[in-house]
Amino acid sequence: MTVRSRNPLEDELQNALATLLSLSDEEKQVRGIAHTPREIYQQPETWLKTGRMMASARLLLLEALEAVGIESPNPKDRPVVILAGAGTSDYIGHAVSRIFRQHWNCEVMVVPSTELLTNMDDFIRPGRRYLLISFSRSGESSEGIATLEHASERFPSQIKHLVITCNGGGSMARFPGVTAVVLDDEVNDRGLAMTSSFTNMIISGQYLANVLNPVGYEETLQGLVTMAARLMPEAADLAWELAQIGYSRMCFIGAGSLRAIAEESSLKVLEMNAGKIATIAESPLGLRHGPLSFVNDQTLLVAYLSASEPRIDYEIDLLEEIAQKRLAGNMVVIAPRVAKRLGNITPNVLSLDVPSTVPDAYRAPVDIILGQLLGLFTSLANGILPDSPSSGAIGRVVSHVKIYPVLAKQQG
pLDDT greater than 60 at residue 410:
no
Q: What radius of gyration do the chain's Cα atoms show?
A: 21
Tell me, yes or no, whether 156 and 183 share the same domain.
yes
- Last residue in a domain, options 179, 195, 214: 214
The torsion of the CA quartet 383, 387, 393, 398, rounded to 10 degrees, works out to: 170
- Domain count for the chain: 2
pLDDT at 174 over 50: yes
Q: Virtual CA dihedral for 394, 135, 272, 351, nearest 10 degrees?
A: -170
Distance, CA of 17 to CA of 377 (rounded, Å) = 9
In this structure, are residues 39 and 200 in contact, taking their beta carbons and an 8 Å threshold? no
Closest CA to 307 of 265, 282, 280, 339: 339
Q: Are residues 208 and 228 in the same domain?
A: no
Distance CA 224, CA 359 (A): 10
Considering the domain architecture, whether residues 295 and 188 belong to the same structural domain is answered as: no
Tell me: do 159 and 229 sit in the same domain.
no
Total residue count of the chain as it appears in this document: 412
Q: What is the pLDDT of residues 30-55, one digit of tens each?
A: 999 999 999 999 999 999 999 999 99
Provide the 10 A C-beta neighbour count for residue 337. Answer: 13
- For the chain, the average pLDDT equals 92
* Res 5: pLDDT: 40
Q: Within this chain, do residues 25 and 89 fall inside the same structural domain, yes or no? A: no
Residue 393 has a pLDDT of 59
Share of the chain above pLDDT 90, in %: 86
298 and 243 in a common domain: yes
Which residues, including other chains, have CB under 8 Å from residue 115's CB and lie 6 or more apart?
A: none
pLDDT of 242 over the 80 cut? yes
* Residues 110 and 22 grouped into a single domain: no
- Alpha helices in 32-81, H assignment, sequence order: 36-41, 43-56, 58-68
pLDDT digits (tens, 9 = 90+) for 336-390: 988 888 988 999 999 999 988 899 999 999 999 999 999 999 999 999 999 999 7
Q: Name residue 361's amino acid.
A: A
Would the pLDDT of 1 be above 60?
Answer: no
Contacts of 73 (CB under 8 A, 6+ apart): none
Could you tell me if 129 and 272 lie in one domain? no
Q: What pLDDT, on the 0 to 100 scale, is given for residue 159?
A: 97
Mean pLDDT of 306-321: 94
Indicate the Cα dihedral angle 354, 360, 362, 366, nearest 10°: 50
Q: Is 60 exceeded by the pLDDT of residue 408? A: no
Q: What does DSSP say about strands 159-165 and 330-335: parallel, antiparallel, or unpaired?
A: unpaired
Q: What is the pLDDT of residue 308?
A: 87
Both 237 and 370 in one domain: the answer is: yes
Confidence at residue 407, expressed as pLDDT on a 0 to 100 scale: 57
Query: 234 and 97, same structural domain?
Result: no
Residues 197 and 228 reside in one and the same domain = no
Residue pLDDT, tens place only, 204-231 = 999 999 999 999 999 999 999 999 999 9
Domain region containing 303: 10-31+224-381
Can you give the pLDDT at residue 12?
40
Are 205 and 234 members of one domain?
A: no
Within-domain flag for 374? yes
Three-class SS of residue 350? strand
At residue 2, the pLDDT reads 45
